[in-house]
Amino acid sequence: MSNGKRSLYERLGGYDAITAVANDLLPRLRGDSQLGRFWAHRGDDGIDREKQLLIDFLCASAGGPVYYRGRHMALCHRGMRISESDWSVFLGHAAATLAKFKVPEAEQREVVAFVQSLKNDIVE
């Protein structure tokens, strides 16, 4: 960046670190008694594709050199009936993952603010 400030992507540790977060978060979500229903009838290939889209989305959104080829958040979550309660459970798992990887407070706040900015596109 021209102003010398590192992107969130760089401060989080780049592609490998974001991939590690996705690899930790998705099994937490899939294994959750409330959220697991969203993956109950998905095959391994679909789950792997979804994970790659998540990684690409997070990397691109954090300012990394990755192009996100997926659909808009509102379109890909439409009809899933994601509730406020589901959202809260998701946020708890996301916080646990960020804590596990010892993501610094400033970056955690940026990540949470970004995720919260997506809520209206995801929660019905």
Say which DSSP state 72 is in: -
Provide the pLDDT for residue 4. 67
Torsion (CA) 97, 27, 54, 8 in degrees, nearest 10: 10
For 37-79, the pLDDT digits (tens) are: 999 999 999 999 999 999 999 999 999 999 999 999 999 999 9
Q: What pTM, to 2 d.p., does this model score?
A: 0.91
Q: Helix 14-31 to helix 44-61 angle, to the nearest 10 degrees?
A: 130
Can you list the domains of the chain with their CATH numbers? 8-122 (1.10.490.10)
For 73-123, the pLDDT digits (tens) are: 999 999 999 999 999 999 999 999 999 999 999 999 999 999 999 999 999
- Taking 50 as the threshold, does the pLDDT of residue 2 lie above it? no
Take residue 63 and report the two structure tokens written for it.
């300012």
Residues 6+ apart with CB under 8 A from 67: 56, 60
| Residue 122, amino acid | I
